């Protein structure tokens, strides 16, 4: 029997893919890190002025679709495009989307999001599959897990630095500059990939279709068409039953559209050969059980962003302030009134309701002088009073249309812009002061400088980079002592640890009256730290398990299934965050996540023996 020698070191292809993915994730996490803040930000300050429900729904839908499209991209790469072409096409679409977010208007925003969503579908599953294919070589197979951990390190290096760059760009220039920087990052990644393409081509092999595979025409007929039709049905379901089934019509559409896709994967399992069936069964069981982990993971872009923005003490030491202030890394707060989104004492944004409010056009085609800095283009300001007692409620700030011909047309369009559900604005103090004790407020004519909200999102990648060698060292030590942890057991432990990260937030809520005081930044730093340990036990292993257990011809498609789990979890996470304002006691929000994580961990523990046997059978490990 031939004894295959293990190659020393790693091939250059690993580092090409490492850098490509690092810059791609730089762009992705930069955009995700500020997107929710952009959506809820006051229109007067360049944001969209949406309330939490609408913003969380948009973010949840975006994350869900970003991870749903790898199903399509993986399939087309497997059968037709090849992995390198798919990666280049996806990167170009994502870069165009990031640059497009810098353009004004809702239509350009949604078109740009569509470009990113489709681009990610071509890019994300196929770069992971390309890496797996390269390490299927006999002299590299033993290094596959290590290669995926190195690859995962690149993801987190990009995710760490992007938030600092986003902070600098949005405070120095504006939201559009921050989004454009994400596009620049994507183009740098593509340049690296194309220049090193010859080193990765060994893994770019289009697999031949076998008799067990469904033809592409049938997949479109049996999966995509039903998904579109069921999505349309879900979008209109509220008109049949009188209300959305899952809180919003977009949630209904998404979950209905997922049904044919899930049935497609069940069909793959049922049609597979006896040899393939055990590996696919184990893989799909792991996917289902890990959904809760990704629900907790995606709180990063919604609930934990809200927590960092509104409930966390973001004051910084004077020594740090001296360094950070010239770099535009700080948020300035003064006692000067400026145009802010109107919120109540529970931080719930107040929205326009034309049934209860009377709107009056204050001015047309004039600068809004209350905005700091002033908007570079004219706006309408509309005052709202109560129809009941004529009391002042707030005002709306709406962009003027440049090609309007007359004051009459301007007035008609301005009044038409008073859409129900849009956020109200008022002249008010910075909302950060609302639950900050008055003895810590800045003095008149002075300012306090805060760490920006998005910087907290760099905690998770920092912990990943810091903890990866420690966790790998611990596993190596246990293996040498004859106490190795099986992959399924690592996953179960990771789920428990992820649940504990939510329990930390329960204690954070209970640490003070969050509506009258700020919580210590140590709480959110701790929850990210605990969760990062769980992430290291699950996420890199998930990518590796697909490569180990999926049949070679289905690897990219099963990578798509792994990202489908992310999609469903992202939508569930967004749906949960849309109810954030309904949780007066925020500890119940995080307690629910803790209970769900423990339940999933128990399910995985029951499957450990079976999953371990399948992994050993397929890999010999």
> Looking at residue 207, which CATH number applies to its domain?
1.20.1250.20
Same domain, 304 and 362: no
List pLDDT tens digits, range 376-396. Answer: 445 566 777 788 888 877 766
List pLDDT tens digits, range 587-597. Answer: 999 999 999 99
- Highest mean pLDDT among 60-69, 265-274, 328-337, 471-480 belongs to 60-69
Pick the last residue of a domain from 423, 451, 479.
451
List pLDDT tens digits, range 540-564. Answer: 677 677 777 888 777 767 877 887 8
Both structure tokens of 489: 């057991």
Count structural domains, the chain.
2
Residue 92 lies in a domain: yes
Helical segments of 290-352, H only = 291-297, 303-306, 318-324
Same domain, 16 and 97: yes
Cis peptide leading into residue 373 (ω within 30°)? yes
Residue 303 lies in a domain: yes
397: pLDDT strictly greater than 90: no
Predicted local confidence at residue 363, as pLDDT = 55
Residue 126 lies in a domain: yes
Per-residue pLDDT, averaged over 427-456, amounts to 90
Predicted local confidence at residue 598, as pLDDT = 95
Same domain, 191 and 46: yes
Per-residue pLDDT, averaged over 113-138, amounts to 90
List pLDDT tens digits, range 98-117. Answer: 999 999 888 999 999 999 99
Q: Which residues, 6+ apart, have CB-to-CB distance to 610 below 8 Å?
A: 282
The secondary structure element, H or E, covering residue 464 is helix 459-480
Q: Strands 379-386, 357-366: parallel, antiparallel or unpaired by DSSP?
A: antiparallel
Predicted local confidence at residue 422, as pLDDT = 63
Cα–Cα distance measured from residue 397 to residue 409, given in angstroms and rounded to the nearest whole number? 17
Q: Which residues, 6+ apart, have CB-to-CB distance to 440 below 8 Å?
A: 315
Percent of the chain residues past pLDDT 70, beyond the cut: 88
Predicted local confidence at residue 213, as pLDDT = 67
Per-residue pLDDT, averaged over 270-296, amounts to 88
Question: Higher-confidence residue: 374 or 219?
Answer: 219
Same domain, 342 and 281: no
Question: Higher-confidence residue: 323 or 219?
Answer: 323
Judged by average pLDDT, the poorest of 25-29, 396-400, 568-572, 613-617 is: 396-400
Question: Terminal CA-to-CA distance of the chain, rounded, Å?
Answer: 19
Alpha-carbon distance values, 221 to 69, 104, 214, 263 (Å)? 17, 37, 11, 13
Predicted local confidence at residue 507, as pLDDT = 98
Per-residue pLDDT, averaged over 613-620, amounts to 80
For 193, half-sphere exposure in the C-beta direction (CA atoms, 13 angstrom radius) is 28
Same domain, 574 and 557: yes
Range of the domain at 355: 330-451
Residue 121 lies in a domain: yes
Distance of CA 526 to the CA centre of its chain: 20
Same domain, 462 and 568: yes
Burial of 326 (0-12, 13-18, 19+ CB in 10 A): exposed
- Torsion of Cα atoms, 457 then 463 then 465 then 466, to 10°: 150
Same domain, 459 and 446: no
Same domain, 66 and 126: yes
Same domain, 287 and 349: no
Per-residue pLDDT, averaged over 214-234, amounts to 86
Burial of 191 (0-12, 13-18, 19+ CB in 10 A): middle
If pLDDT is split at 50, 70 and 90, which confidence band does 154 have?
A: confident
If pLDDT is split at 50, 70 and 90, which confidence band does 404 have?
A: very low
Predicted local confidence at residue 235, as pLDDT = 95
> CA nearest 77: which of 9, 142, 133, 32?
133
Predicted local confidence at residue 599, as pLDDT = 93
Give pTM, 2 decimals. 0.86
Judged by average pLDDT, the poorest of 177-181, 426-430, 486-490 is: 426-430
Same domain, 404 and 481: no
Predicted local confidence at residue 621, as pLDDT = 64
Residue 319 lies in a domain: no
Same domain, 349 and 279: no
Predicted local confidence at residue 101, as pLDDT = 96
If pLDDT is split at 50, 70 and 90, which confidence band does 315 have?
A: very high
Question: Higher-confidence residue: 462 or 424?
Answer: 462
Pick the last residue of a domain from 414, 430, 451.
451
Same domain, 520 and 550: yes
List pLDDT tens digits, range 162-202. Answer: 999 999 999 889 999 999 999 999 999 999 999 999 999 98
Identify the three-state secondary structure at position 380. strand
Residue 352 lies in a domain: yes
The secondary structure element, H or E, covering residue 386 is strand 379-386
Average pLDDT, the chain: 85
415: pLDDT strictly greater than 70: no
Residue 247 lies in a domain: no
Per-residue pLDDT, averaged over 252-262, amounts to 93
Predicted local confidence at residue 110, as pLDDT = 95
Pick the last residue of a domain from 451, 486, 502.
451
Predicted local confidence at residue 402, as pLDDT = 44
If pLDDT is split at 50, 70 and 90, which confidence band does 420 have?
A: low
Residue 257 lies in a domain: no
């Amino acid at each position: 029997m031939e004894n295959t020698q293990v190659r020393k070191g790693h091939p250059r292809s690993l580092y090409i893919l490492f850098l490509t993915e690092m810059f791609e994730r730089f762009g992705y996490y930069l955009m995700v890190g500020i997107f929710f803040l952009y959506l809820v930000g006051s229109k007067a300050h360049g944001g969209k002025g949406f309330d939490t429900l609408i913003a969380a729904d948009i973010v949840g839908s975006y994350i869900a679709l970003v991870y749903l499209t790898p199903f399509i991209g993986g399939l087309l790469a497997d059968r037709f495009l090849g992995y390198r072409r798919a990666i280049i096409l996806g990167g170009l679409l994502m870069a165009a989307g990031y640059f497009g977010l810098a353009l004004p208007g809702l239509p350009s925003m949604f078109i740009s999001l569509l470009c990113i969503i489709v681009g990610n579908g071509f890019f994300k599953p196929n770069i992971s599959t390309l890496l797996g294919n390269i390490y299927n070589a006999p002299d590299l197979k033993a290094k596959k897990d290590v290669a995926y951990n190195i690859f995962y390190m690149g993801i987190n290096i990009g995710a760490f630095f992007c938030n600092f760059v986003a902070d600098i760009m949005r405070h120095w220039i504006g939201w559009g500059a921050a989004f454009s920087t994400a596009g620049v990052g994507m183009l740098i990644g593509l340049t690296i990939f194309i220049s090193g393409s010859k080193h990765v081509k060994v893994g770019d092999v289009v697999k031949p279709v076998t008799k067990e595979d469904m033809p592409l025409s049938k997949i479109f007929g049996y999966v995509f068409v039903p998904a579109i039709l069921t999505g349309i049905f879900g979008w209109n379901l509220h008109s049949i039953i009188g209300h959305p089934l899952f809180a919003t019509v977009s949630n209904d559409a998404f979950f209905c559209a997922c049904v044919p896709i899930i049935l497609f994967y069940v069909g793959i399992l049922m049609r597979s050969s006896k040899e393939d069936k055990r590996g696919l069964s184990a893989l799909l069981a792991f996917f289902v059980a890990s959904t809760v982990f990704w629900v907790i993971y995606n709180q990063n872009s919604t609930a934990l962003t809200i927590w960092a923005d509104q409930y966390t003490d973001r004051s910084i030491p004077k020594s740090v302030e001296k360094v950070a202030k010239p770099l535009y890394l700080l948020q300035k707060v003064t006692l000067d009134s400026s145009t802010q989104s109107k919120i109540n004492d529970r931080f719930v944004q107040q929205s326009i309701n034309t049934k209860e409010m009377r709107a009056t056009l204050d001015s047309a085609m004039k600068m809004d002088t209350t905005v700091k800095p002033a908007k570079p283009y004219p706006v309408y300001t509309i005052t709202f009073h109560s129809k009941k007692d004529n009391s002042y409620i707030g005002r709306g700030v709406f962009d003027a249309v440049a090609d309007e011909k007359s004051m009459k047309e301007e007035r008609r369009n301005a009044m038409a812009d008073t859409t129900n559900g849009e956020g109200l604005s008022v002249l008010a103090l910075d909302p950060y002061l609302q639950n900050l004790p008055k003895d810590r407020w800045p003095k008149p004519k002075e300012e306090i400088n805060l760490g920006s909200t998005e910087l907290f999102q760099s905690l998770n990648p920092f912990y990943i980079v810091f903890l990866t060698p420690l966790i790998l060292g611990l596993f190596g030590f246990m293996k040498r002592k004859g106490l190795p942890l099986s992959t399924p057991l690592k996953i179960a432990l990771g789920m428990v640890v992820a649940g504990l990260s939510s329990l930390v937030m329960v204690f954070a809520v209970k640490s003070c009256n969050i509506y009258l005081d700020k919580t210590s930044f140590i709480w959110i730093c701790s929850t990210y730290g605990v969760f990062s340990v769980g992430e290291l036990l699950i996420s890199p292993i998930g990518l590796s398990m697909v490569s180990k257990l999926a049949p070679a011809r289905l690897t990219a498609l099963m990578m798509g299934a792994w990202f489908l789990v992310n999609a469903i979890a992202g939508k569930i996470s967004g749906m949960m965050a849309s109810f954030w304002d309904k949780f007066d006691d925020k500890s119940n929000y995080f307690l629910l996540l803790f209970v769900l994580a423990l339940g999933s961990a128990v399910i995985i523990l029951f499957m450990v023996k079976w999953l371990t046997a399948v992994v050993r059978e397929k890999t010999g490990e």
